Chain A
Amino acid sequence: MAAYTVFRAAFGYLFLVLMVRIVGRRPGKQLTPFEFVLIFYLGGLTLTGIVGDEVSLTNAVCQILTVGMCHYVLAWLRYRSSRVAQLLDGVPLFLLEQNEWRTDTLSQMSIQDDDVMDMARAQGIRDLSGIRAAVLETYGEISVIPVEENGE
């Protein structure tokens, strides 16, 4: 049944979007081996259920079109509504501001102060007193704003 294969493709895409969003962002510019395994494994398992035993080119093309359409609709909704954008991407979060750690945010996002200092060192900041603010971005990177940058 063609409608069933289209439904499977759409469900698989949306389910993966939800899973990746829930599994959460981890700090770092590159994927760790741990995340590498997770992403490939999730993709492989989803593929098995989506394709099933229907290996025709027609099925592949229609399922790719379905995933493309789903992606386009999500991107359009994200552009039109800031609420959807927050749901899909999350929001940036302060990890450190005014010389105080946001301990609740750090624990909820499973981030340690060492992770923030890693990013600070990459910018030539020697210790925490040189950080004005640290922000966990929606794509997982930690932006560190140095004290000197703002003339303080």
Chain B
Amino acid sequence: MSARDFTSAVEDSVPKVEEIAVGENLDFQRQWWRFERGIWIFFLLILIADVLGVFGRGWLAKAQRTDDAHAMTLDYERVERASTPSIMTFHFMASAINNGKVQLFISEDIVKALGAQRIAPQPESSTIGNGGVTYVFPAAGAPATVQIQLEPSFPGIHHFRTQVAGGESIGGIITVVP
């Protein structure tokens, strides 16, 4: 048989006010009200940051890079959201088009970590190697545009690199938030 007690004496453990056992703790409650006021301001700041695009899909998230040779301009979102589609757009100038073709290299991070889903228009050919994929697109003349739909699965920070034949390399960082 266990010697453990199953009962204990009733004690007046709940603090009383005016002989009523309520257990009010006004000091704690005042601290909590101060915390609530602070956290509502914090929530408001989060919402403002969200609308501005700090967490992606807004004005602050949009980025544009042009290579030093001015052969290509890249529009992308520097902050993306996991499992949410976004578009990376490549604008090609005349110097990027050689013999009616545009040869575009994109690094592995864009394909894997950032989850490249679709590419429009479809490339004439694609070749893997050098840490990425090289696409060849037929092009009649400048300006020309290629779009890649991205949909990253997981949060993280990803470095990418891209280059068009006849231009300089463009690098960047994309942060994926949950």
Contact = CB atoms under 8 A, between A and B. Distances in A.
Interface of A: 1, 4, 8, 22, 24, 52-53, 86, 90-94, 97-98, 105, 108, 132-133, 135, 145, 150
A105 B39 CA distance: 19
Interface stretch (B24-32, B52-60, B89-97, B109-117): B24-32
A90 B29 contact: yes
Contacts of A145: 20
Interface residues of B, number: 19
Contacts, number: 41
Given A22-B39, A22-B40, A133-B20, 18 more contacts: A22-B36, A86-B28, A90-B29, A90-B32, A91-B25, A91-B28, A91-B29, A92-B22, A93-B24, A93-B29, A94-B17, A94-B22, A94-B24, A98-B18, A105-B29, A132-B18, A132-B20, A133-B18
Contacts of A94: 17, 22, 24
B18 A97 contact: yes
B25 A135 contact: no
Instruction: Please name the 3 residue pairs, one residue from A and one from B, whose CB atoms are nearest each other, closest first.
Output: A91-B25, A92-B22, A108-B33
Query: Chain A at the B interface: mostly helix, strand, loop or mixed?
Result: mixed
